[in-house]
Amino acid sequence: MSEVDSYAREPTRRHDMTVNAPQPYNAEPPVEIIRSHYVTPTDYFYVRNHAPVPDINPHKYKFVVDGMVAKPREVSLHELKAKYTHHTVMCTLMCAGNRRTEMSNLKTVKGVGWGNAALSNAIWKGVRLCDVLEDVGAEMDNPHLHVDFYGGDPCVEENYKKGYGSSIPMSKAADPQGDVILAFEMNGEPLPRDHGFPVRVIVPGYIGARSVKWLKSITVKSDESESFFQRRDYKVFLPSVNWDNVNDWWDRTPSLAGLSVQAAITNPKLSEAIATGSSYTVSGYALSGGNRIVRVDISLDGGKSWQTARIFPGEEKGHDNRYWAWAFWDFHVDQFPSPCEIVCKALDIGNNGMPDDLAQIWNLRGVMNNSWHHVSVPAKSKY
Ligand SMILES: Nc1nc2c(c(=O)[nH]1)N[C@H]1C(S)=C(S)[C@@H](COP(=O)(O)O)O[C@H]1N2
Ligand SMILES: [Mo]
């Protein structure tokens, strides 16, 4: 099958997504959608693909569990659902490339450009990875092990001919409180093809890249995944690292795992004008890799003075004190001071915050941009 033909069987998609790359398909919802649904409607959930979408027959589907396990085996979809206890997790997935375009605007980075909507929230149902690992006799208390996942996408690029892969440490995989699941449902329906039908991994609190779709294999190993996406992509380098010296940095730079604190303004959106003196509610999202967001600060004067936003849904959305889903926030302004520059930043309960200066965290791959989010608001005549 030629590279062109391999895209002939892509799923049907909404036409109002912002398409950042058509083949492989990469798209984020319109930013106003993000903030109007706490649980993102499935067909608006952002899509990050590295290859054509495989067309998998669920009746023939199996994944393999092997490597350093006592009883390697294959598991069919039917067996997965019938044999293990079902577990539901509400979890926001965010691509590490969220807000990459802001980084590129400072200095070009490599990778698909993304605005501030490369994240979405869903209710996932599946079985706990730790239950499957226990069943195959993995050494779950060995902190030096890694659990390596491969997906069934037909990768064609030289760099990732072996397919899409990624790994997580055993400490996360084996932890029942880590909530890592092999999901077969999203928002009460079977997974759509774009999101990994029939089975994907969901790794709450980690960058989206670790939540491998179209799961083909789970391998317990003594080292992290050999995959391009573990060893090359999704690493944060110093701003001084460039394509001439990056070879010195690949192996000594750790692969991204957990998410940092992130927050962004969704309303107003970029270059939306607001009438001077009118009443307006600024709003957006905030999330962390599992901690509760406790403060979102808003400035209407470019960061000189700050006030705090209202955060919701608040504590009740945590799952036994784990906050895998985003928080929403809003900040009402009686008399909007446009033209002005809105800035937002968030803190989690560990008092982890966000860096103020994008230039300090600029990196070659354009990942983990969690610098203070700025939106310049032009004035609009009231009449
Ligand atoms: N098999 C496979 N899994 C994958 C990917 C992929 O291209 N192939 N992309 C990863 C990346 S980088 C992200 S951010 C998330 C996106 O998940 P979504 O498309 O369901 O939003 O899936 C991850 N899992
Ligand atoms: Mo990603």
Q: Tell me the CA end-to-end span of the chain in Å, nearest whole number.
A: 59
What's the CA gap between 305 and 340, in Å, rounded?
A: 13
Rounded to the nearest angstrom, the distance between the alpha carbon of 278 and the centre of ligand 1 is 41
pLDDT at 1: 45
Q: What is the pLDDT of residues 109-123, one digit of tens each?
A: 988 999 999 999 999
Q: What is the pLDDT of residues 27-43, one digit of tens each?
A: 999 999 999 999 999 99
In the chain, what are the domains?
5-247 (3.90.420.10), 262-380 (2.60.40.650)
Residue with the nearest Cα to atom 15 of ligand 1? Answer: 208
Residue (of 154, 197, 162) closest to 24 by Cα position:
154
Contact 46 CB / ligand 1 (< 6 Å): yes
Residue with the bigger pLDDT between 154 and 194: it is 194
Q: What is the mean pLDDT of residues 67-94?
A: 97
Categorize the per-residue pLDDT at 244 as very low, low, confident or very high, splitting at 50, 70 and 90. Answer: very high
Q: Tell me the H-state helices in 310-374.
A: 358-361
Peptide bond into 254 cis (omega under 30): no
- pLDDT > 70 fraction of the chain, expressed in percent and rounded: 96
Q: Is 42 exposed, middle or buried (0-12, 13-18, 19+ CB in 10 A)?
A: middle
What's the CA gap between 313 and 296, in Å, rounded?
A: 13
Rounded to the nearest angstrom, the distance between the alpha carbon of 119 and the centre of ligand 2 is 9
Q: What is the pLDDT of residues 130-157, one digit of tens each?
A: 999 999 999 999 999 999 999 999 987 7
Contact 197 CB / ligand 1 (< 6 Å): no
Q: Which long-range contacts (CB under 8 A, 24 or more apart) does 77-86 make?
A: 77/184, 77/198, 77/199, 80/126, 80/127, 80/132, 80/182, 80/184, 80/199, 81/127, 81/184, 83/135, 84/127, 84/128, 84/131, 84/132, 84/135, 85/127, 85/128, 85/131, 86/125, 86/126, 86/127
User: How does DSSP classify residue 206?
Assistant: B
Contact 165 CB / ligand 1 (< 6 Å): no
Q: What angle do CA 114, 282, 344 make, to 5 degrees?
A: 60
Beta strand 327-333 pairing with 165-169: unpaired
Q: Tell me the H-state helices in 93-207.
A: 100-106, 129-135, 170-173
pLDDT at 380: 86
Specify whether the CB–CB gap between 323 and 293 falls below 8 A. yes
Rounded to the nearest angstrom, the distance between the alpha carbon of 174 and the centre of ligand 1 is 22
